[in-house]
Each structure stands twice: as structure tokens, then as C-alpha cells.
Structure 1
Amino acid sequence: MTVGTEMENMVSMSSPEGGRNGVPVLRSVSGFEAVDRTFAQMLCDRAEREPDTVAFCSWVDGDARPTSWSEYLEEVRETTLGLHDLGVAPGDRVAIMSSTRREWVVAALAILSVGGVPVGVYPTSSVPEVEYALESSGATAIFAEGTSDIGKVRAVAAGLPHLRAIIGFDAEPADLPETVKTVHWDYLRAAGSARAVAEPELFTLLVEAGDIDQLAALFYTSGSTGAPKGVRHTHRTLQYSVLGFAMSYPEIGTTRHDLVGFLGLSHVAPALVGVFAPIMTRLVITYCTMDQRVEALIGVRPTAVLWPPRMHEKLASEMLQTLAESGRAFRLGYSIAMKVARKVSDLRWRGRQVPRYLEALYELCMKCVFLPLRAKVGMDRIKVSWTASGSMTPDVAALWHMWGLDLRELFGTTETCGSVIAQWDRAFPAPGTIGKAMPDPRWVVRVSHEGELQVRSPCLFDGYWHNPEATASALEDGWYRTGDLVELSSDGEVTIIGRMKDVLKTSGGKSVSPQPIEVRLKASPLIDEAIVVGEGRKYLTVLLSVSDETQAMTPHERDAALTRWIDEVNSELARPLQLKKFRILPRALSAAAGELTAKATIRRSNILASFTDLVDDMYDVGEQDEIARQARFARTDHK
């Protein structure tokens, strides 16, 4: 089956001509073609047309400090020429290992301006993971945030013959091999500024040498089915990725929308929205750290957000806690408002007209109850909220809808970068699906005989970095094989039901292959079998079947020994992969109970079903239970 529809008058991308203040007007999706400009060239165009308009903001000392397009370009110019002085050449891969901040974005555009390729490295990465990313990409330079990040690079630099330079954002790199140049961010920009004075045409020559089909980003997969793979995206595929994102809410192409950016820019979705989309749309990002996010949300009061499901779940929980601590009168008003909201949402999800009297009542509830409640976490101005990178619990989506938040699912992968499926066709879509194929006939989905979701789109990646075998395996006659098992309804709605391969995806959007962790755990004589848990959960845990030797210990000795071993395994893993808790299975796994195959291979879903209580005991299920109670949402009622 294939699905692909066309919608007229959809958002267009930035092009050199037309539109208010030089920004392009809308035109139909089917008429869009990628502009013959790189992102660095488009940055120059935008700065020329709108020099004093806000490009982005930075959260500093409790305030969102704006940077104009002309200031943005000047910082990129200085950084570009500084990199040129360090010997960074067209085609070079340059890594960035940092939390979300303005310097990340400036560095990325500078790398593109010099003709290089940005490579995001997660700041939570372990030393071996940093080594793998730098070695496999052949990175010639890296931007590192602080002393801890620099230390990780220092630990592996001697074994990286390609690495020639390291730039520290907050610290001066030191004690690196003599072959690696070290420089502080401020000095790099100062050197670039001096070069701009000496050679005023050099920056323009570097930027104009770029081509739309050059490599523009190298994103690494999570490694959920083996070693992480470098996913190649060109300027052209990224332009179409921005279009795919914009198609789910065309207004971002014509009207300013504020978004608070704190998710790691090494991840593909935050990078698309936080680095590339603002150059082509009216999105204005306020960059802040994860620790600053609540303060920044309240201060900025964004009009749009893009978060993994866990962030929506966490904020919903915080709002319910605020409600519990509020006065009796407000709680009574909330109770009444929720009765109205449930009726309104039920009609919306079923595609029915909301009666005028009920709509008026709901608007009163919004004004008096829901917006004041949302304002406690800076969510009262939100026009649209997107969620991606994980499974959204229908109860969570339902509750936000009742609170008046237009929450929509997006689906994309590292290989597509942008959305290929989304809930784009109406506001407040019924929770439970991930939407439909994008409203452009070039975005098409199909389901194989095995139930695998396959997609075709102009935003598809340009292949895996130095891995033609993996590329050939992922692509079939121009179709990308996602590995997701789905159901496709008669009207094109897609529902994900699992993975072709056994992969966990946490509620924070982290894809995890449990097998390597389980194999490492079973290296100890203490453990016979290990089942890592975490699908749709906040963190990873593990169920353990212990050896006879372990069972002979006293409970205190057993727990202490297992804790020491798990701590040792955790020390080898990146933070998102570390196991937070464990429980010991009360009995041996059984083939008769469907928990093992005939070859004694574990059947994960059956094991989790057998030991639901043990799994729930490792998580704070009260938070989700309260959301479910508030929503009173049954998936089967609103299909």
C-alpha cells in the first residue's frame, strides 16, 4: 500500500527573491525545489536582507539576549577564518562536543562556510565512544566545551592521526600531542577577525565555493543494531528535511515563533530545528542548558516546542503537582473545567463539530484555569507542540489536548532527518497514531509484506559514511527500510507496533540495543541471564536471573555483589545507557511459559509480561497513573 497526498498553498523555503523583507512568500509544495544555495550562502542572504532582525537568542543571567542576523554572520565569519588559519579545508570533518549553546550553532555554520562537515558528538559519550566518532569520521578538528570534554579527547588523541586541532569553548586545551594545535574559542575568533581585515574577500570566496550537493552534516545513529553509523546529509537533503518539518505547521514559514532549545544538538531532530530550520523559516531559538530550561521556558514563554515524549510527560507531572498544591477554589474550578475539556476533546478526536455553547464554556475554562496552570511552566503561549524520537503515551497526549495544547506527533529517523510522517492534517489529532505521509506527493510511505514501514522522500540521506554494504541494506529501489513494524489504516494513518529488530527506545528518545549490555552483564559468574528494560521508560533497568553461586549467598551479600558488578558495567557505558535499578527474577525462565525459545533464546516481550510487577517496581509508575487518571483516556474509544 502507498499513501501520498498533495495540499495546495503550503510553506515554501527561503529563496533569493520575493516576500516581505526579502523573505519568500508561500507557494504550493508541489512547486518547491531546493534553492541552489548552501546553508552558509543562505545565512549571508538572510543577513543582507534582514540585518537587524533577531536571528536567535541566548539565555544569560535570567534573560534572553538577542543576536541579529548581521551579528550572527559576523561571528560565523570570524570563526570560519579562524578555522581556515588552523588548516581546516573543504571536505574536512569537524566535530562538536558540547551542550546546547550559541557557540555550537556558530561553529556549525562556520564549518559549513569553510566547506567542512559538522559532526555532532554527544557530550554524554564515554571515552571509547568519543574515540569511535572521531576515528570513524576522520575528524581533523573538534570543538569541545569544558575540561571534562577536552579530557576525553586528550585520552584518545594520540591514536587519532587525522586530528590536527582542538578548540575549547570554556577552557584552554592543554597536554595534547604536539601534532594537535590547541586554541581557545575567543582566540580563534580574534585570529579570524584579524584575517578578515587583512583579506576582506576571503570569507566570501570560501562561502561561494560551496555547492548544494556537498555533504553538510554527518549524524551518527545510536548504534542500536551494531556499531553507530555515520549518516550523510547534503545541503539539498537538509533543505527538504526542513520542508518536511515545516509542512506539519506552515505558519513557521511566515510568522515568528519562539522556541527554547536545550536538547542536545548532536541529535538529528534538535539539530534540524535548532541549527538549520531557523535559516529557512521564522523560528527564533533561545539556546539554554538543560539546567536552565525551566527558567528559560517561563522567561521566554515560547510559542512552539519540539520535545521527546518524556519532556511532555515530565511537565504534565509538574503541572499536576502545582495543581495539588493550589487552593481549594482553584482545584474545584479545575475539576469543573476538566469535565468540559473531556467533552470537547472527545468530539475533536472523533472529528465532530463542537457546539457553540460548549466551545464558549471551554474558552472560559482556558482563560480561567488551563492557561494560568500552563503559565506555571511557561507553556501558556504555545501555538503548536511537536513530539518525536519516542513513543508518546496516548494518556499524556490526551491530557495536554484537554489543557488546550495542540500536540502533534512527528516521525522521522536519522536517515530522513526531517519528518516523513506527521499529524499535519488537523489540530488536536486523536492520540495513538503517528499521523500520515506528508502532504506532498514526493513524500510516500508503504508497508512491506512483513509489516515494515518503508518511505521514499527527497529528504532521504545520501548513504552511510564509508559503509556501502549498510547503505545497500537500508535502501531498496529508492525506498528506505525503517525497521519499524506498523499498521496502516484505510485512511493512511500509521501506527507503530514494534521493531523488526529487538531495539528499546526510551521515553527520552534514546534508541538502545540491549544485547551488548546484557552480554557484558553475563560475563560475571553471578548472572545467568539479563534482560534490559526501558521501552517507553525514563531510564534503563534490568531483570536478572542469577547463578546457583549467587543464590547461595545471603541477601545482603548477593545484593552488594550484584550492585558492585552493575556499577562496574555502568562505568563503561555512556550515561543514557547506564542501568539505574535491578530486580532478581523469583524463578527460572521457562520455555513452557513462552519466555524462552527452543534454543533458549529469551523472548523479551513475554518475559516483561510475566514479570510486570517487578518491572513497575523499578519505575515511578505513580506519575503516569495520575496522568492516565486525569485524562481518563481509552485508546480504543477514539480511533
Structure 2
Amino acid sequence: MKYRHPIQVLAERVKQHPDKDFLHQPINRQWHVTSWQQAFEKAQKIATGLNALGLQKGDRVAILSKNCAEWFIADYAIMMAGMVSVPIYYTANQKTIAQVVENSGAKAVFVGKLDEFAPAEGALGDEIQKVAFPYPTIACQHQWNDWLDNNDPLSDIHEPKPEETMTLVYTSGSTGIPKGVVISYLNYSSVCETHIQSFEIANNDRALSYLPLAHITERGVIQGPGMYAGASIYFVESLDTFLEDLKHCQPTLFISVPRLWTKFQTGVFEKLPPKKLEKLLKIPLIGRLLAKKIRQGIGIDSARIYGSGSAPISKSTLEWYQTIGVDIAEGWGMTEVTGLACSNFPFNPERIGTIGLPCACVEMKLSPEGEILIRGDAVFEGYYQNQSATDESFQDGWFKTGDKGEILANGSYQIIGRMKEEFKTSKGKYVAPAPIESMLAANPAIEQICVMGAGRKQPVAVAVLAAHLLGADKDQIRKSLRKTLEKVNADLESHQKLDCLIVADEAWSVENDFLTPTLKIRRSMLEKKYNKVVQDTINELVFWENDVTASEST
């Protein structure tokens, strides 16, 4: 199938509706709107600036910034100039930034909104050309607004071939040094064209771009399809203004990650206890009004499509959202498959707890060992300058995803863990943590969960409580967690049964290195941290991490 490349589509949109609002950027609580024509012309001027630096077609140009209108425009400019974008997570530390720049060979970098300047300042020396977005950021040799004021629009816009490299997307590095995934125009265009058709996205749709653009999901589900469909894109000014900006956007398409869906749920429970809420929602008229009020309070009442991806979400969470009229379609994908490749959309309640069916741009199957294999237009061809890793990742033309799955009777795929996440207990039995974690997550008191136990007689679970329970009665929480643990153990085989559940002292975050930038847990880091606590477990089914610390000090 022949696909349109992004700049071709952007030019078509400009011809169709040049003055239509496209990018909505809040700055100091004022909304600044960029039309389609303005976005195209700004990208042309920025592309001229890149050429003026002496860069050539095929050179790599990095983008290090939070999501903003300039991120989109810089991406288009890099394409127009025939160069290759290299997104970097704005939360990346100095070492990671330096690794990505060195491995990619990036000769220039756009730097924008950041929470901390030190990592970027330490990693980006004078040898790389730095262009500052028009926000407070690190010192740069070039300024975005100067280029817009002084450059003529690029007239000789690059026309890429499908097999050309569009972007190098570096994996988040949950298990080691990030690898550069080579994404071609064919890969990107195929998912954009596929998703606007399957989601039926139109030019009256609205989406909020807030998940990191350095992650392929945001580019492959929001940025790309949104642009291809002619939708309006909104951004967030800061974490503190997130809900206000979300309510301003009133998205018709809203995609999130499990941790944020859980946080929204926790926010509801802070105002109304779960049991009382459950009773009220069952009352016909009151229930409908209450559900609408909750959706409005979050800012997602206008959405017609809800999605969750990047990490597993518990079935119980999806079922709870159904009670307030939010049908979340769980999706699955990877950087190597250009984002979303399988989803429960159109939403089917019978497929809750699964990742649904493969998207039209790929084929999927299971290996004899149960590993999900995938091929198609959306699947990358290899890792940048890493042929050995590329060779290890393919089998007879199929990409080995590393995810273990099963196919249900209705044709849906279900993820049951990572092939390498299974650990062996001292009994020589293998345990897959993901299904057990999903079962434990049914308790709304649990916000984050990790099952571990390599070399132990029995596995254990470590949990982070929901924020609203900080300072709550420990006895009540312990009673609730014990009840959940006993229920879960009753459904597990003998070698899977959990010895205990440990309540962690602190939440796991990107900042303390226990979560990847896409909010997946870093199992190796957690196992390293809690190994001693696990070994020193006290004779309780449920206890707090600081209980062990306190007992050691006495």
C-alpha cells in the first residue's frame, strides 16, 4: 500500500484549511494558537536555519524538550530539510543524554522546556549546535525566534522515499543502555494512515499532547494521526496546570498510561470513598449524573475514544472506569513497531483485560514458546549501528517482541508477561509476575505493585499505596491488603503463592530511577532496592518497609 509522508499531508492540510487552528500552546496562562499555514511557514524557516548551520541531508538533529508547539514544528522542519530527528526524554539524566547524542551522531539539538537544566548543560558542550525554543532553558548559540524573524521559508522541501530514515527513537533503557530504533517514513506513515481510519479521527477532533514526545506512542497515536486527520492539538503548560489545561482542551481523543488512570481514580476516591461511590452509581438517575460529574471533574467528558497503553493496566481498573461511562480501550505496542500495533478498539467489553486485535498495518502470531511475533509496514528494520542486536531480534522476517502472550477464543491477544521477566524460585519453578500484579492491583489502595522472588522459596509483592492513604489508619489498610492477598493466593498455584506483601516507604518515580520515562517499573532497580527487605521479612502477611528498618535498629 502507498502511504502519504507527513510533510505531504501537512501541505495538503494547509491547502484545505490554512487558517484553521492547529496548535494550542499555553504560556503564562494565555493560550497562543498557531494555524496550519503558520505552522508550515514556521517549519520552513526553521529548516532554512538548519541548512545555514552547514548540516546536510541525513544528518541527525536532536530534540530535548517537554511537549510544546515548537516540538511539532521542529520535527516538521527536520523532515523538510531531509534530516533525521532524534528525540530525547526531557527527564533524561546527563549520562543518557550524552549516550544518545554520541550514538546518534547528532550535530545539532533543539532545547526547550525542562524541569532541570543541569543534565542538559553537562551533556551538551560547545561542539554541538544548540537552538533554544522560546522558553527559559539552557544557554544556546541560536534562538528560535531569531530564526523565525530572519530566515526565508525553505522552498526546496525534501521529498523522502518510503525506506528513508525519518527518526531515531531511543528505547527508555529499562534493562540497559538505550538502543536507537530506526523508524522509516514507511513505518511512521503506515501507523498514521491506519489509525486515522480505525479511530475515525476527523478535523473536528481535539487531543492533548502531554505524554513524552520522545516516546513513539505519543508521536504514533497523537502527533501523527492528529496531523493526518487535521485535528487540533493542545499542550500543557506545567504539571500544576495539567487539569486546567485538560479541561480547556476538552479532548475528543484521550490516551493515557495506567499510572495516570490510577491517579485519576485515586483523586475520585479522595472525595468519595469507593464503597459509597459504588452504591451511588447503582442508583439510576443519581448514578448517571454522578458519573457525568466525575468525567467533567477530570476533564474528559467530551471524549469519544479513551485509550491506555505503555504498560499493563489492571482489569479491575478498566471495569471501574466502565461504571462512570469511560470505556478504555487497552492497546499494546513498542518503539520497534512504531507505537500502537494491537488494541481493543472499537471497544468491546468482552475483550477487557486483553490488548484486542492487531492493527491493519501489522500481522501477529505466537511462537511455539508463546512469544508474540510481529511483522508488517509498521515494524522497524533494525537498531542503529547495532547489527548484532538486530539479528537477535528477528526470526524468519518476524520481530521477536519479548512479550509472552496467548490468543483467546475470541481472537484477542492477552499479554501474560515478558519472556525475560519470569523468575525462578529456589524450588526451581518459574513465576510470571505480571498476571499476579494485575490481580493485586484490583485493590484500589494499591497504586504501584511489583512481584519478585528469584531464588526465594516463595515470591513476595512490594506495593506503593495510593497517595490519599498516606497517614491513614494502618490497621484498616493492613486488613484490606491482607484480604486481597489471601484472595489472590487462593487462585494461584502452590509455587506462585505470595509469602507476604510489603508496603514501600516511597512512591516509585522517574526521578528516583524506579520508573522509565514512560512509567514502566524498572524491575532490576526495585529488586536491588528491596532485596534486603525481602530477605529480612518479619512474620506478618502484610507489613511496612519501615517496620523492617525499625526492627533492625532496636
TM-score after normalising by structure 2: 0.75
Q: How does 1:523-542 map to 2 (within 5 A)?
A: none
- Equivalent residue number for residue 501 of structure 1: 420
Quick one: distance in 2 between partners of 1:81 and 1:42?
20
- Equivalent residue number for residue 542 of structure 2: 613
Quick one: distance in 2 between partners of 1:69 and 1:167?
22
TM superposition shift of 1:134: 0.2
- Equivalent residue number for residue 170 of structure 1: 135
Would the alpha carbon gap of residues 534 and 129 (structure 1) be closer, same or farther in structure 2, given more than 3 Å must change?
Answer: farther
Would the alpha carbon gap of residues 429 and 484 (structure 1) be closer, same or farther in structure 2, given more than 3 Å must change?
Answer: same
TM superposition shift of 1:258: 1.3
Whether contact under 8 Å (2:164, 2:184) holds in the other structure is yes
- Equivalent residue number for residue 636 of structure 1: none
**1:182 counterpart = 2:141:** yes
- Equivalent residue number for residue 245 of structure 2: 296
Would the alpha carbon gap of residues 481 and 424 (structure 1) be closer, same or farther in structure 2, given more than 3 Å must change?
Answer: same
The AA in structure 2 aligned to 1:305 is F
Say which SS state the counterpart of residue 213 (structure 1) adopts: coil
- Equivalent residue number for residue 95 of structure 2: 128
Would the alpha carbon gap of residues 210 and 399 (structure 1) be closer, same or farther in structure 2, given more than 3 Å must change?
Answer: same
Cα distance per residue 1:219-268 (max 9 Å; x no partner): 1112234321101111111011223434542x21x352212221111111
Cα distance per residue 1:117-143 (max 9 Å; x no partner): 111111111111110000000000011
> Which of 255, 279, 291 is matched with 1:306 structurally?
255
**Further displaced range: 49-58 or 96-105:** 49-58
Quick one: distance in 2 between partners of 1:280 and 1:245?
10
- Equivalent residue number for residue 33 of structure 2: 66
**1:221 counterpart = 2:164:** no
Would the alpha carbon gap of residues 413 and 615 (structure 1) be closer, same or farther in structure 2, given more than 3 Å must change?
Answer: farther
- Equivalent residue number for residue 402 of structure 1: 323
- Equivalent residue number for residue 204 of structure 1: 155
Say which SS state the counterpart of residue 420 (structure 1) adopts: strand
The AA in structure 2 aligned to 1:382 is A
Quick one: distance in 2 between partners of 1:436 and 1:277?
19
Would the alpha carbon gap of residues 135 and 446 (structure 1) be closer, same or farther in structure 2, given more than 3 Å must change?
Answer: same
The AA in structure 2 aligned to 1:308 is V
Query: Is there any run of 5+ residues in structure 1 with no aligned partner, and where?
Result: 1-32, 175-180, 197-202, 326-330, 341-360, 508-512, 519-530, 540-562, 590-606, 619-639
- Equivalent residue number for residue 435 of structure 1: 356
Whether contact under 8 Å (1:244, 1:418) holds in the other structure is no
Quick one: distance in 1 between partners of 2:461 and 2:193?
36
**1:478 counterpart = 2:427:** no
Larger radius of gyration: 1
Whether contact under 8 Å (1:366, 1:404) holds in the other structure is no
Quick one: distance in 2 between partners of 1:64 and 1:476?
50
Say which SS state the counterpart of residue 120 (structure 1) adopts: strand
Quick one: distance in 2 between partners of 1:611 and 1:282?
57
Q: Which has the higher contact order (CA 8 A, sep 6+)?
A: 1
TM superposition shift of 1:615: 7.5
Quick one: distance in 1 between partners of 2:534 and 2:185?
55
**1:34 counterpart = 2:34:** no
Whether contact under 8 Å (2:220, 2:340) holds in the other structure is no
Q: How does 1:85-484 map to 2 (within 5 A)?
A: 85-145=52-112, 151-157=118-124, 163-171=128-136, 174=139, 182-192=141-151, 195-196=152-153, 203-205=154-156, 207-246=157-196, 248-249=198-199, 251-252=200-201, 254=202, 256-288=204-236, 289-323=238-272, 335=278, 338-339=281-282, 361=284, 364=285, 367-438=288-359, 440=360, 443-484=362-403
Cα distance per residue 1:94-136 (max 9 Å; x no partner): 1111111111111111111111111111111111111000000
TM-score after normalising by structure 1: 0.66
TM superposition shift of 1:75: 1.5
The AA in structure 1 aligned to 2:282 is K
Cα distance per residue 1:161-187 (max 9 Å; x no partner): 6x344435434754xxxxxx7112222
TM superposition shift of 1:156: 3.4
Would the alpha carbon gap of residues 446 and 322 (structure 1) be closer, same or farther in structure 2, given more than 3 Å must change?
Answer: same
- Equivalent residue number for residue 53 of structure 1: 20
Number of aligned positions between the proteins = 476
Cα distance per residue 1:432-488 (max 9 Å; x no partner): 1111223x3x53211111110111221111311111111111122221111011111
Say which SS state the counterpart of residue 455 (structure 1) adopts: strand
Cα distance per residue 1:548-592 (max 9 Å; x no partner): xxxxxxxxxxxxxxx9xx9xx969998876879966756848xxx
Say which SS state the counterpart of residue 15 (structure 2) adopts: helix
Would the alpha carbon gap of residues 611 and 475 (structure 1) be closer, same or farther in structure 2, given more than 3 Å must change?
Answer: farther
Quick one: distance in 1 between partners of 2:337 and 2:388?
18
Cα distance per residue 1:3-51 (max 9 Å; x no partner): xxxxxxxxxxxxxxxxxxxxxxxxxxxxxx333x431232122112210
Supply the RMSD in Å over aligned alpha carbons. 4.1
Whether contact under 8 Å (1:437, 1:443) holds in the other structure is yes
Would the alpha carbon gap of residues 394 and 166 (structure 1) be closer, same or farther in structure 2, given more than 3 Å must change?
Answer: same
Whether contact under 8 Å (2:332, 2:340) holds in the other structure is yes
Quick one: distance in 2 between partners of 1:233 and 1:69?
25
**Further displaced range: 579-588 or 381-390:** 579-588
Q: How does 1:487-636 map to 2 (within 5 A)?
A: 487-502=406-421, 585=532, 588=535, 613-614=542-543
Quick one: distance in 1 between partners of 2:67 and 2:259?
18
Say which SS state the counterpart of residue 294 (structure 1) adopts: helix
